[in-house]
Structure 1
């Protein structure tokens, strides 16, 4: 019966999980060698490559495979390989971000699947509206990881607030200059009175702000 690469990868994975943690890198090499020793060298290399890729994509213990992946796949330089792996398993980005954190295609591929990975992006890309929106779409708190240019983007915040019933959450993440911008804040109070908690003392005492809050209270009581 022909054994598939998937079945070989599953077997290698479970054998590896039984290995002692300090020896897992060496153990994995031994497992892969044993599995492919009957093959021609070029075929063995291809199968080993496929096995490693499969395990990297499917595993929940990615840290086990990163050292050998770096060596076998040259993750520090092989951009196309990195992009493919990140597309399949975004967590890989967190392990290679030191080399590719300013590569927009790779970063966007990671954050549009797992928004909290924005924390590993470069400062330039944390201020890239396209990248940040990709992260926010699947993880709203990603805005907290964005750069100041994005957090101070009035149009973006208004858009997020309009799309989200918890407007105060996005206001809480805005820069101080926006939180102190009466023209920005006042229209939003009618959507979410909790915004008031994040305003400066100056704005909290503003007559128009006070009136907006009273209107909210009156509407609630009615």
Structure 2
């Protein structure tokens, strides 16, 4: 097993700073950190020094829990989970002293997370989640871990009723994996305010919106800000708008296959798609596939 120094040291890079850890208001001890650091490395260091398992630990910076799953679930394009927290993680300063509070998960939660972790994306966790005690199925972190570690969104049906009715919890799930809307957000996919926030957090949420919302230009443009490929999920009329189509195929040429026939016959659109993905020529109109200029450029490799 790696020593504590091996886990939390990089003497050749970055600053040296102290991490003071307390539990229930009483000092536990101090870690010396070298260079950049991440939550997982910190948890490994706490485990190595004080023998708290990673799944038992709840580390807090102020009122924000330091946890990879929660950091992932709380990503937001318009605001940081905590600017101070990200600055702390990404840009520690020499001589800094960081104060963290350490709390313990319950034994049942620790056991559940320890069983869930090694399954990763390949394991069937349905039975594990279904048979978990109420304090696990009602715990936000444990249920988000099911999504973040396993992408087993259908198993959220076993989360507590309180969590499944919590709009913020559903948004956190969507932030990790938009397909969660199929399982626990199906009653909200026609709610414009909810879907606007869902799309802001994950543009792929547009795919699960109701048809009337997929036909709303403001929501489509919001999704396109996140990823050009979201155009494929929009109402058909948007796949005939040259401005939006160019924005999409320039980044994802293969998406030409999902555009309107008029766009597949547009020279500028087709050339933009083929520049990004030469195989996209397959989806161009017959006239453009046979166009001598296009074929000369393809053969010359100038696209």
1:121 aligns with 2:209: yes
Deviations 1:39-73 (A, max 9, x none): xxxxxxxxx9xx6233334443554453343x224
- The separation in 2 between residues aligned to 1:169 and 1:22, in whole angstroms, is 39
- Structure number having the greater helix percentage: 1
* Of 139, 146, 152, the match for 1:52: 139
- The separation in 2 between residues aligned to 1:200 and 1:10, in whole angstroms, is 62
Let me know the Cα RMSD of the aligned residues. Answer: 3.9
TM-score norm. by structure 2 comes to: 0.47
- The separation in 1 between residues aligned to 2:104 and 2:130, in whole angstroms, is 17
Q: 1:113 to 1:11 in 2, by over 3 A?
A: farther
For the residue of structure 2 that corresponds to 1:100, the secondary structure is: coil
How far residue 189 of structure 1 moved from its aligned partner, in angstroms, is 4.7
* Of 49, 61, 66, the match for 2:157: 66
Contact 1:86/1:106, CA 8 A, preserved across alignment: no
Equivalent in the alignment of 1:86? 170
Equivalent in the alignment of 2:194? 106
Equivalent in the alignment of 2:69? none
Q: Structure 2 stretches of 5 or more lacking a match?
A: 1-22, 26-55, 59-102, 117-124
Matches within 5 A, 1:142-181: 142-162=230-250, 164=251, 166=252, 168-180=253-265
- The separation in 2 between residues aligned to 1:178 and 1:99, in whole angstroms, is 35
